[in-house]
Protein backbone atom coordinates (compact mmCIF):
# COMPACT_ATOMS: atom_id res chain seq x y z
CA UNK A 1 0.00 0.00 0.00
CA UNK A 2 2.77 2.43 0.91
CA UNK A 3 4.68 1.74 -2.29
CA UNK A 4 1.54 2.29 -4.35
CA UNK A 5 0.89 5.65 -2.70
CA UNK A 6 4.51 6.67 -3.23
CA UNK A 7 4.24 5.79 -6.91
CA UNK A 8 1.03 7.78 -7.24
CA UNK A 9 2.46 10.84 -5.51
CA UNK A 10 5.66 10.69 -7.54
CA UNK A 11 3.59 10.55 -10.72
CA UNK A 12 1.49 13.54 -9.65
CA UNK A 13 4.58 15.49 -8.68
CA UNK A 14 6.34 15.02 -12.01
CA UNK A 15 3.14 15.50 -14.00
CA UNK A 16 2.43 18.83 -12.32
CA UNK A 17 6.07 19.88 -12.52
CA UNK A 18 6.07 19.28 -16.27
CA UNK A 19 2.77 21.10 -16.76
CA UNK A 20 4.00 24.24 -14.99
CA UNK A 21 7.55 24.14 -16.33
CA UNK A 22 6.49 23.46 -19.91
CA UNK A 23 3.41 25.65 -20.05
CA UNK A 24 4.70 28.63 -18.08
CA UNK A 25 8.15 28.17 -19.60
CA UNK A 26 6.74 28.71 -23.08
CA UNK A 27 5.15 31.95 -21.87
CA UNK A 28 8.12 33.24 -19.87
CA UNK A 29 10.92 32.27 -22.26
CA UNK A 30 9.79 31.45 -25.82
CA UNK A 31 6.94 33.98 -26.03
CA UNK A 32 9.43 36.73 -25.11
CA UNK A 33 11.02 36.33 -28.56
CA UNK A 34 8.59 37.77 -31.16
CA UNK A 35 10.65 36.30 -33.98
CA UNK A 36 9.67 32.81 -32.82
CA UNK A 37 6.04 33.75 -33.39
CA UNK A 38 4.52 31.35 -30.85
CA UNK A 39 2.19 33.97 -29.33
CA UNK A 40 -0.92 32.99 -27.38
CA UNK A 41 -1.51 30.02 -29.66
CA UNK A 42 1.93 28.57 -29.00
CA UNK A 43 1.54 28.94 -25.25
CA UNK A 44 -1.92 27.34 -25.41
CA UNK A 45 -0.55 24.34 -27.28
CA UNK A 46 2.37 24.08 -24.86
CA UNK A 47 0.00 23.65 -21.93
CA UNK A 48 -2.07 21.12 -23.86
CA UNK A 49 1.04 19.16 -24.81
CA UNK A 50 2.25 18.98 -21.21
CA UNK A 51 -0.99 17.30 -20.14
CA UNK A 52 -1.10 15.09 -23.22
CA UNK A 53 2.45 13.82 -22.77
CA UNK A 54 2.21 13.24 -19.03
CA UNK A 55 -1.22 11.62 -19.31
CA UNK A 56 0.44 8.86 -21.30
CA UNK A 57 3.67 8.84 -19.28
CA UNK A 58 2.21 8.55 -15.77
CA UNK A 59 -1.58 8.76 -16.08
CA UNK A 60 -1.85 4.99 -15.68
CA UNK A 61 -0.13 5.27 -12.29
CA UNK A 62 -2.01 8.09 -10.58
CA UNK A 63 -4.89 8.92 -12.89
CA UNK A 64 -3.06 11.95 -14.26
CA UNK A 65 -4.70 14.74 -12.27
CA UNK A 66 -1.82 17.28 -12.05
CA UNK A 67 -4.33 19.79 -10.71
CA UNK A 68 -6.04 20.21 -7.29
CA UNK A 69 -9.29 21.24 -9.00
CA UNK A 70 -9.25 18.04 -11.07
CA UNK A 71 -8.56 15.95 -7.96
CA UNK A 72 -11.47 17.52 -6.08
CA UNK A 73 -13.71 17.37 -9.13
CA UNK A 74 -13.02 13.68 -9.61
CA UNK A 75 -13.61 13.15 -5.89
CA UNK A 76 -16.95 14.91 -6.31
CA UNK A 77 -17.72 12.57 -9.21
CA UNK A 78 -16.81 9.51 -7.14
CA UNK A 79 -13.68 8.88 -9.19
CA UNK A 80 -11.03 9.62 -6.56
CA UNK A 81 -10.67 7.83 -3.22
CA UNK A 82 -10.84 9.98 -0.09
CA UNK A 83 -7.35 8.97 1.02
CA UNK A 84 -5.78 10.30 -2.18
CA UNK A 85 -7.26 13.81 -2.15
CA UNK A 86 -5.03 15.68 0.31
CA UNK A 87 -1.74 13.91 -0.57
CA UNK A 88 -2.36 14.55 -4.28
CA UNK A 89 -3.04 18.25 -3.71
CA UNK A 90 0.07 18.67 -1.55
CA UNK A 91 2.45 17.12 -4.09
CA UNK A 92 0.78 19.00 -6.96
CA UNK A 93 1.41 22.32 -5.23
CA UNK A 94 4.98 21.34 -4.33
CA UNK A 95 5.63 20.26 -7.92
CA UNK A 96 4.28 23.57 -9.24
CA UNK A 97 6.41 25.63 -6.86
CA UNK A 98 9.60 23.72 -7.66
CA UNK A 99 8.89 23.95 -11.39
CA UNK A 100 8.47 27.71 -11.05
CA UNK A 101 11.74 27.87 -9.14
CA UNK A 102 13.54 25.91 -11.86
CA UNK A 103 12.04 28.18 -14.50
CA UNK A 104 13.15 31.27 -12.55
CA UNK A 105 16.73 29.97 -12.33
CA UNK A 106 16.88 29.40 -16.10
CA UNK A 107 15.07 32.56 -17.19
CA UNK A 108 17.08 34.81 -14.88
CA UNK A 109 20.27 33.61 -16.55
CA UNK A 110 19.60 36.08 -19.36
CA UNK A 111 21.31 39.39 -18.49
CA UNK A 112 18.46 41.72 -19.47
CA UNK A 113 15.62 39.47 -18.30
CA UNK A 114 12.64 41.17 -16.66
CA UNK A 115 10.34 38.79 -14.77
CA UNK A 116 7.19 40.93 -14.99
CA UNK A 117 4.22 38.85 -13.96
CA UNK A 118 6.20 35.62 -14.47
CA UNK A 119 3.18 33.94 -16.16
CA UNK A 120 1.10 34.41 -13.01
CA UNK A 121 -2.68 34.80 -13.14
CA UNK A 122 -4.64 37.92 -12.27
CA UNK A 123 -7.81 39.95 -12.57
CA UNK A 124 -8.46 43.68 -12.94
CA UNK A 125 -5.17 45.50 -13.43
CA UNK A 126 -3.31 42.14 -13.47
CA UNK A 127 -5.55 40.64 -16.14
CA UNK A 128 -3.84 40.72 -19.57
CA UNK A 129 -6.99 42.34 -20.99
CA UNK A 130 -7.93 44.13 -17.75
CA UNK A 131 -11.08 42.04 -17.27
CA UNK A 132 -13.07 42.57 -14.09
CA UNK A 133 -12.97 40.33 -11.03
CA UNK A 134 -16.48 39.04 -11.82
CA UNK A 135 -15.61 38.26 -15.44
CA UNK A 136 -12.42 36.46 -14.43
CA UNK A 137 -14.15 34.47 -11.68
CA UNK A 138 -16.92 33.33 -14.02
CA UNK A 139 -14.47 32.45 -16.80
CA UNK A 140 -12.33 30.32 -14.48
CA UNK A 141 -15.37 28.58 -13.00
CA UNK A 142 -16.97 27.87 -16.38
CA UNK A 143 -13.81 26.72 -18.12
CA UNK A 144 -12.79 24.43 -15.27
CA UNK A 145 -16.33 23.02 -15.26
CA UNK A 146 -15.97 22.01 -18.90
CA UNK A 147 -12.42 20.76 -18.41
CA UNK A 148 -13.55 18.38 -15.67
CA UNK A 149 -16.66 17.47 -17.65
CA UNK A 150 -14.46 16.44 -20.58
CA UNK A 151 -12.10 14.50 -18.32
CA UNK A 152 -14.93 12.51 -16.76
CA UNK A 153 -16.66 11.93 -20.08
CA UNK A 154 -13.59 10.72 -21.94
CA UNK A 155 -12.62 8.33 -19.13
CA UNK A 156 -16.11 6.90 -18.57
CA UNK A 157 -17.47 3.49 -19.48
CA UNK A 158 -18.14 3.30 -23.20
CA UNK A 159 -15.61 5.99 -24.15
CA UNK A 160 -12.37 5.25 -25.99
CA UNK A 161 -10.44 5.60 -22.74
CA UNK A 162 -7.11 4.59 -24.26
CA UNK A 163 -7.18 7.82 -26.23
CA UNK A 164 -8.47 10.04 -23.41
CA UNK A 165 -5.20 11.98 -23.18
CA UNK A 166 -5.78 13.47 -26.64
CA UNK A 167 -9.14 15.21 -26.05
CA UNK A 168 -8.06 16.22 -22.54
CA UNK A 169 -4.88 17.85 -23.87
CA UNK A 170 -6.79 19.53 -26.70
CA UNK A 171 -9.42 20.75 -24.22
CA UNK A 172 -6.73 22.46 -22.17
CA UNK A 173 -5.34 24.00 -25.35
CA UNK A 174 -8.79 25.37 -26.25
CA UNK A 175 -9.27 26.69 -22.72
CA UNK A 176 -6.01 28.64 -23.02
CA UNK A 177 -6.95 30.02 -26.43
CA UNK A 178 -10.11 31.41 -24.85
CA UNK A 179 -8.82 32.68 -21.55
CA UNK A 180 -5.18 33.79 -21.83
CA UNK A 181 -6.39 37.36 -22.47
CA UNK A 182 -8.80 37.13 -19.54
CA UNK A 183 -6.82 35.69 -16.62
CA UNK A 184 -3.67 34.34 -18.29
CA UNK A 185 -5.49 31.02 -17.73
CA UNK A 186 -5.43 29.06 -14.53
CA UNK A 187 -8.09 26.32 -14.26
CA UNK A 188 -5.46 24.85 -11.94
CA UNK A 189 -4.74 26.19 -8.43
CA UNK A 190 -1.28 24.58 -8.33
CA UNK A 191 -0.28 26.15 -11.64
CA UNK A 192 -1.40 29.53 -10.25
CA UNK A 193 0.36 29.15 -6.92
CA UNK A 194 3.88 28.42 -8.19
CA UNK A 195 4.31 31.48 -10.46
CA UNK A 196 2.42 33.79 -8.06
CA UNK A 197 4.89 33.09 -5.26
CA UNK A 198 7.74 34.21 -7.50
CA UNK A 199 5.89 37.15 -9.03
CA UNK A 200 4.93 38.25 -5.51
CA UNK A 201 2.94 41.29 -4.42
CA UNK A 202 -0.56 41.63 -5.84
CA UNK A 203 -0.32 38.30 -7.64
CA UNK A 204 -0.22 36.51 -4.30
CA UNK A 205 -3.09 38.70 -3.05
CA UNK A 206 -5.24 37.64 -6.01
CA UNK A 207 -4.39 33.95 -5.71
CA UNK A 208 -7.61 33.19 -3.81
CA UNK A 209 -9.69 33.51 -7.00
CA UNK A 210 -7.58 30.90 -8.77
CA UNK A 211 -8.27 28.41 -6.01
CA UNK A 212 -11.94 29.13 -5.37
CA UNK A 213 -13.27 29.45 -8.93
CA UNK A 214 -11.54 26.39 -10.49
CA UNK A 215 -12.40 24.15 -7.54
CA UNK A 216 -16.04 25.29 -7.57
CA UNK A 217 -16.33 24.69 -11.31
CA UNK A 218 -14.73 21.25 -11.11
CA UNK A 219 -16.86 20.09 -8.20
CA UNK A 220 -20.06 21.21 -9.92
CA UNK A 221 -19.02 19.19 -12.98
CA UNK A 222 -18.22 16.22 -10.76
CA UNK A 223 -21.65 16.37 -9.14
CA UNK A 224 -23.28 16.51 -12.58
CA UNK A 225 -21.27 13.47 -13.67
CA UNK A 226 -22.99 11.38 -11.00
CA UNK A 227 -26.31 12.11 -12.70
CA UNK A 228 -25.25 12.05 -16.36
CA UNK A 229 -22.99 9.01 -16.51
CA UNK A 230 -23.78 5.45 -15.51
CA UNK A 231 -23.47 5.02 -11.72
CA UNK A 232 -21.72 1.68 -12.25
CA UNK A 233 -18.96 3.39 -14.23
CA UNK A 234 -18.32 5.81 -11.39
CA UNK A 235 -18.48 3.17 -8.66
CA UNK A 236 -16.31 0.70 -10.58
CA UNK A 237 -13.54 3.27 -10.90
CA UNK A 238 -13.36 3.76 -7.16
CA UNK A 239 -13.65 0.04 -6.43
CA UNK A 240 -10.74 -0.78 -8.73
CA UNK A 241 -8.72 2.02 -7.16
CA UNK A 242 -9.45 0.78 -3.64
CA UNK A 243 -8.57 -2.82 -4.49
CA UNK A 244 -5.31 -1.77 -6.05
CA UNK A 245 -4.27 0.15 -2.95
CA UNK A 246 -5.60 -2.22 -0.32
The pLDDT-based confidence of 1 (bands split at 50, 70, 90) is: low
Q: For residue 20, name the pLDDT band (cuts at 50, 70, 90).
A: very high
Structural domain spans, the chain: 2-245
CA distance 179 to 147: 13
Query: Taking a C-beta distance cutoff of 8 angstroms, is the pair 164, 55 a contact?
Result: yes
Best CA proximity match to 13, nearest among 75, 86, 66: 66
CB 68 within 8 A of CB 85: no
Q: Give the fold, CATH level 3, of 2-245.
A: Glycerol uptake facilitator protein (1.20.1080)
Report pLDDT digits (tens) over 39-77: 999 999 999 999 999 999 999 999 999 999 999 999 999
**Is residue 95's pLDDT more than 90?**
yes
Q: How far is CA 226 from CA 42, 143, 171, in A?
A: 35, 19, 21
Mean pLDDT over 16-27 rounds to 97
pLDDT value of position 36? 77
Amino acid sequence: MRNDMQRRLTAEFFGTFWLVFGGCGSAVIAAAYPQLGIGFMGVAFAFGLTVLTMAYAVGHISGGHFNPAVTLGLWSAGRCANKHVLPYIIVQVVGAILASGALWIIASGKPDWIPGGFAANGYGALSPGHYSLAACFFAELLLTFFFLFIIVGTTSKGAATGFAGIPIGLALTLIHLISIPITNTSVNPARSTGPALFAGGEYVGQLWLFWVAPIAGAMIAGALARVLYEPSAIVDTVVVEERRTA
